[in-house]
Structure 1
């Protein structure tokens, strides 16, 4: 029988630094909840808003898979591998930190916020050579269907990470429904509703609500009104 864990949007950690307003689904920085350390290999789900021209200075990461999904605006990335890139809505970025990489992230524009999700996944291989990848997707390909964007191995049109993980996006009109079949064995699914209203196996999710599902092979998703959502299927540690 499937098990469900619900995280209401309003229950997330709230860090407002003025130039940065971040909502933490799982324990991060000064937000600590021993009941919300991670969901399987999904360690961090931060919902970030960065003021115009501001950003994160150079800082070090290691042994973590870091995925950034821009929602609005332009985010500029620079790192110690020599990468300089700008990611926008429709782009997906991944960085395998491995043995260690220093990077910075800034709002490319001075006159508008940048909004993005930063997601950390615990890798299944440690101390790999650091790696950067970025793809541009067509948002139209997720209208009324589920668009897979990340997998555990290189595939055309998707990014990949060192973990049994599959990420997908959906943008459903009211009334559209679909069954998501799990890709892995013994994995769990974390559903993050970006906006609108969906039901997952009959459980209601509104803007920024999250739902973890374990001990299941599939879930039924229905848009009760126009909605956009992110599915993160990950190994359960």
Structure 2
């Protein structure tokens, strides 16, 4: 099964300081056909106005991954963490039995553009935790950024999910083997690419794949950055 989720079909949220697009049902946006994919519950594409952000709020029992497309995110939480997540860095926050945090655009002049990702954990009510890592100096086509065991210096997540950052220059291509009984979600962050022979995906588009196979990605017209979620 292959299903395309076009960017233009996503839900939208306009809050003055926040311009959001919702791949799956979120907040006041509801679509019974898009409640999530496997244990991937949220992919929100957020653009935050300069100097604005989310005041302190809470989460429980969710693995929250932040992928910065451009700009800098200022983060503070009830664990005592205070940090700035920059372009090329990945944040993983395991909410566990409960965590409070705030997120703001660190800049007073530039927009912040990010993907906020929520994944349901395999075990609930664990101690909350926070991780952050800079992947900006890694220029490989495929980089493992999140995994259950922290394989290859990736960040750990409390779920049987692997997340890869993929980067293609113009006319580059690569293959990814999706094992039997595994599922994949592809999310385009920057640029455009072609999946297989003729499925063209633009910025903001998503693709669900539920057939173990060799997945072929190429960038015939523009450079592209996208995420691959390998899911049970």
TM-score, structure 2 normalization: 0.95
Residues 35 and 59 of structure 1: is their aligned pair in 2 closer, same or farther, counting only changes over 3 Å? same
Unaligned segments of structure 1, at least 5 residues = none
Listed as ranges, the matches of 1:51-62 within 5 Å are 51-62=49-60
- Kindly indicate whether the alpha-carbon contact (under 8 Å) linking 2:139 and 2:167 is maintained by their aligned counterparts in 1: no
**Per-residue deviation, residues 9-38 of structure 1 (Å, max 9, x unmatched):** 100111011100010000000110000000
What residue in structure 1 maps to residue 213 of structure 2? 217
State how far apart, in whole Å, the 1-side matches of 2:70 and 2:18 are: 15
The reply on whether 1:229 has 2:222 as its aligned counterpart is no
- Kindly indicate whether the alpha-carbon contact (under 8 Å) linking 1:21 and 1:48 is maintained by their aligned counterparts in 2: yes
What residue in structure 2 maps to residue 90 of structure 1? 88
Listed as ranges, the matches of 1:132-143 within 5 Å are 132-142=130-140
Shift of 1:171: 1.8
What residue in structure 2 maps to residue 13 of structure 1? 11
**Per-residue deviation, residues 113-159 of structure 1 (Å, max 9, x unmatched):** 111110000111111100100011135423xx111111111235211
SS in 1 for 2:220: strand
Listed as ranges, the matches of 1:30-49 within 5 Å are 30-49=28-47
How many residues align structurally?
230
State how far apart, in whole Å, the 2-side matches of 1:29 and 1:139 are: 36
What residue in structure 2 maps to residue 194 of structure 1? 189
Shift of 1:197: 2.4
The reply on whether 1:163 has 2:159 as its aligned counterpart is yes
What residue in structure 2 maps to residue 110 of structure 1? 108
Unaligned segments of structure 2, at least 5 residues = none
State how far apart, in whole Å, the 2-side matches of 1:155 and 1:86 are: 24
Q: CA RMSD in A?
A: 1.3
